[in-house]
Amino acid sequence: MPLILPLLLAVVLFCIGVYGVLARRNVITMLMSFELMLNAVNLNLVAFDAWRVDEATGQTLAIFVITLAAAEIGLGLAIVLLLFRGHGHVDADAARDLVERP
C-alpha cells in the first residue's frame, strides 16, 4: 500500500476536525471535532510505524494518545457542565464574558 494513502487520509480527517472546531457552535460538538483531530494524529503515527517495521514505537505512542484523549475529554466535559450551570447553555459563541470593552 503506498504510504501516502494513510497520510492523506490523516490530513483530510485533521482538516475536517479543524473546520469543525472553528465552525461549530455547541461546545460538545467542538470537543467531538477535536477527537477527530486526535484520531488523525493516531492514524499518522500508526502509518509511520507500519512503514518502519523494526519497532512498535508508533503504536505505543498511539496508545498513549488515546489515553490522553480519554483524560482530556473527561476534564473537558466537566468544564462544559460548569459552563452549562453558569450560563444555562453551552453555546461557545454566546459566552463572551471575557470581552474587553474599549
Partner 1 sequence: MTTVLFSVAGAVAVAAAVLVVVSRRIVHAALWLVVALGAVAGCFGALHAEFVALVQILVYVGAIVVLVLFALMLTKAPTNPLPELTTGRSPFAAVVAAVLALILGAGVVLAFGNEKIEPVTGGSATAIGTQVFKNWVLPFEVLSVLLLAALIGAIALSQRKKED
Partner 2 sequence: MIATVWRVTGVAFSLLILLFAALLYGAAPDQVAFLDSPVGDLTIGFAVRTDDLTVLMLAVVGVIATCVQVYSLGYLHQRPASYHALVTLFTAAMVTVVVSDSLFFLLIGWEVMGACSYLLIGHYWERRDARSGAVKAFLMTRFADVGFLFGIFVLGVGAGTFRISELDPARISAGVLTTGTLLLLVGVVGKSAQVPLQTWLPDAMPGPSPVSALIHAATMVAAGVFLIARLYDVFAASETTLTVLAIVACVTMLVAALCASAAVEVKRVLAWSTVSQLAIMFSALSLGTAEGRHAALFHLVTHAAFKGLLFLCAGVLLHQVGSAALVVLRRYTRRGKLRKALQVTFLTMTVGLASLAGVPGFAGFFSKDAVIEAAWEQAHDGSVVGWVVLLSVCLTAALTAFYCVRLWLWTFFRTPALAGGIGAFEDGDAAADLDEPDTSKLRDAPWVMLAPLVLLAVASIVLGYVDGVHLNWVIGLVSTALVLLGALPAYSLWRRGADPRPVVFEREFGVDPAYHGLVVVPVRWLAKLTVAGDRDVIGAYVRAAGRTGTLASQGFRRLQTGNVHTYLTAAVIGVVALAVLAGVIGS
Nearer to partner 2 by C-beta: 27 or 49? 27
1 binds partner 2 (CB under 8 A): no
The one of partner 2, partner 1, none whose footprint includes residue 39, by CB under 5 to 8 A per kind, is partner 1
CA distance 31 to 2: 32
81 binds partner 2 (CB under 8 A): no
To the nearest 10 degrees (0 to 180), the angle between helices 27-51 and 57-87 is 180
With beta carbons less than 8 A apart as the criterion, state whether 40 and 17 touch. Answer: yes
CA distance 13 to 81: 27
The gap from C-alpha 63 to its chain's centroid, in whole angstroms, comes to 15
Stretch 14-53: interaction string toward partner 1, x if CB under 8 A: xxxxxxx-xxxxx-xx-xxx-xx--x--xx--xx-xxx-x
With beta carbons less than 8 A apart as the criterion, state whether 72 and 32 touch. Answer: no
Residue ranges binding partner 1 (CB under 8 A): 1-9, 11-20, 22-26, 28-29, 31-33, 35-36, 39, 42-43, 46-47, 49-51, 53, 55-57, 59-60, 62-64, 66-75, 77-82, 84-85, 89-90, 93
